[in-house]
A = this chain, B = another copy of it.
């Protein structure tokens, strides 16, 4: 079958790989109908991980169930399904507690928990940027979608970024009436803004420096803050009589840059601490890593981020972090899409066939204007 494989730094190619097949009694094989390129795929694409050449990428997947193993009972061949990016066993303590992002049985690397399809260091699970993929523990992992092909570009957001943005708002404690500042207007930040409104936020600000992304924020009535022009902390304090936003979401990660382009991993956290009220909640879904050998300086290399912790404490703030447990939210978000009350596809800029994926990767990686979210369609 055809798949997108890693071909060394800044290169992916379409290749023939072994067919996905049932390997164990709880497996399913999915015929992919949509699979998205994620911003985190670019970390591997840019050669900054130790992912091996030949690896099949893709952790944002949906499709039709093609085959199931002997022990699969709930899911049936022909079901239209969304595949959460976290691979999870469904029976360990963390899965029991709804923390599928930290499944204790799924990552064979020493001392590591949690896993994902087609991702460096995240276990042996082949990605879904391909014609087919294998899904283990299918009854537990797969979310059934309404039959047919309706709202395909909305439902495809359920595998990762919509629940991930939502998780940011959950950890930040966003509730009805709250004001929320989101740092980062990439796909995850935009989903956080959308989620904040779904949870009843009264006002949402989104800070970024890319105009195309800020325009997308404005389309859902979030208030864009162009950090190329203004200081976001001052902006939010001005808008709140000096009090600050009720909640904040970090959707940038450790590669934060200041307006001059210099990397400042503590910058966004500082901005959050200073623009969120006393006391207020902060949800961090932008990725920070324990080791970053290529970073500037010893602290950053060890994943130490010297943000204003003293101020954070004095303001009595709370912070939640980490990868989203997609399965905790995807059913509810699916129902909002089905009812027409959530419409995450507004950020989609392109839907292309697998053969166009290498070109799409390059344009998305260079943040070519207007390439905000790319979907791959193996049948195209």
Contact = CB atoms under 8 A, between A and B. Distances in A.
Contacts of A279: 94, 99, 102, 322
Interface in A295-333: 299, 302-323, 327, 331-333
A198 interface: yes
Number of copies of chain A assembled together: 4
A203 B278 contact: no
A271 interface: no
Contact of A288 (B291, B304, B310, B318): B310
Given A102-B279, A305-B306, A308-B303, A91 B140 contact: yes
A77 interface: no
Given A25-B70, A71-B25, A91-B90, A321 B332 contact: no
Contacts of A200: 198-200, 336, 341
Interface in A317-363: 317-323, 327, 331-336, 338-339, 341
Interface in A78-99: 89-94, 96, 98-99
A139 interface: yes
A24 interface: yes
Contacts of A310: 254, 288-292, 302-305
A335 B304 contact: no
A209 to B, nearest CB: 23
Interface stretch (A55-63, A169-177, A366-374): A169-177
A284 interface: yes
A321 B318 contact: yes
Interface residues of A, number: 85
Contacts of A320: 318
A332 B178 contact: yes
Nearest to A328: B96
A202 interface: yes
A304 B306 contact: yes
A179 B309 contact: no
A101 interface: yes
